[in-house]
Amino acid sequence: MPDFPTLAKLAEDLESGRTTSRKLVEACLDKIADPAGEGQRAFIHVDKAAALAAADAMDGLRKVNAAPSRYAGIPISIKDLFDIKGQTTRAGSRALDDSDPAEHDATTVARLRQAGFVVIGRTNMTEFAYSGIGINPHYGTPKGAWNRAQGHVPGGSSSGAAVSVLDGMAHGALGTDTGGSCRIPAAYNGIVGYKPTQRRVPLDGAVPLSFSLDSIGPLARSVSCCAILDAVLANEPIVALKPRPVKGMRLAVPTTIALDDLDAEVAETFERALKSLADHGAVIERIEMAEFHDIGPMNAKGGFAASESYAWHRYLIAAKGDVYDPRVSVRIMRGEAQSAADYIDLLNERRSLIARVNARIAPYDALVLPTTANTPPKIADLADDKAFTTENLRALRNCTLINMIDGCAISLPAHREGDVPVGLMLAGSGGSDRRIFELAAGMEAVIRV
């Protein structure tokens, strides 16, 4: 990954006068506009005039010591799932083309603006956020970090969000995560992606996929960058992140499901990262998680994503189903066959699952597992629907485990420079967000040696 600065470094440069918001925004706009780059596929809409005006405003406020935060003036991207006042929210689809412009910013967008971040534009995504691969037939598919000449998927559904950060088109990104949509593209592109405890960040103003599972989180270049953005999104004070020493960390590796059918590069990179953690004094225990076996049957009829997305889409898909991505509409329509009893069973089974898993992992600081079972597939290899379905499920599987237990999780790059990107996921029960950030900050540099 190119050596772009962290949010902390950008804040220092702004405070010292080494740069200005205007310069940062212009540099990002130049990268988006570069015909040799991925900007035309990573972004659905670019807020050039508004971003430059906001940059000038932040520079003016900084000159009179009135900047709303240290990070005021830093450009970020917004996933096309979020309302931005005056713009149409399309959710990566053509079915919402004629929707009225939003009257208000989504709560999370408003919070980022209040901290002074500059919205650079709306990023591409899997239509209606319903895939972990990142392919979009309407707006094109941005190529991921790995072997761009051949064209590998960027991961989804926050595909453009990850590529915008990877390529310096933004210095942080707002994404969502229902079954891995922040963590998968982070893993595939060698950056950091965070899925918070769902209840910490309001969903208002974001097109839903599954209101039971949807979480709103950041993608950025480091653990500390994600922690800063997460605090803003959760409306919490931005507190300096204190990394925990690796020595003495109590980490559990779930051997049930999470280590099945791994690509060789994923297995090798994951085991090397575990060895490095152990060499630095982490206590690592491999444990069975029998509870994970319950998740497959719970999702056999499409689970929460199918039932809850169908409830939202049923009228729109009846009117405009012909313009939907068929790979998305077929998954939404699975919800039509679920009964009220099926859904109530799901609610009860999930409550039991959460309680049992929380009890199982209570003795440990965190779970550690590969973010995805696969490395980024080639875009061309997924033209076949069967191949797409197989790789999509492999991308989503491990991340979905954490959404189903109402947990929080972060994906860290674990591969060595020049190797195919592989993510290591650190996860905990709901409410353990700060601990996960501290643990991740402590192990961030250690796992790539």
Q: 157 an active-site residue?
A: yes
- Catalytic residue of the set 77, 131, 159, 181: 181
Q: What is the number of residues in the chain?
A: 449
Q: Which of 21, 31, 79, 215 is catalytic?
A: 79
Structure token pair of residue 224: 């500390």
Contact 405, 357 (CB under 8 A): yes
Active site residue 79: yes
Look at the block and give the residue holding tokens 């990142």. Answer: 134
Give yes or no: 164 in active site: no
Can you read off the two tokens belonging to residue 99?
Answer: 């929707």
Catalytic residue among 157, 159, 224, 307: 157
Distance CA 314, CA 307 (A): 10
**Which residues are catalytically annotated?**
79, 157, 181
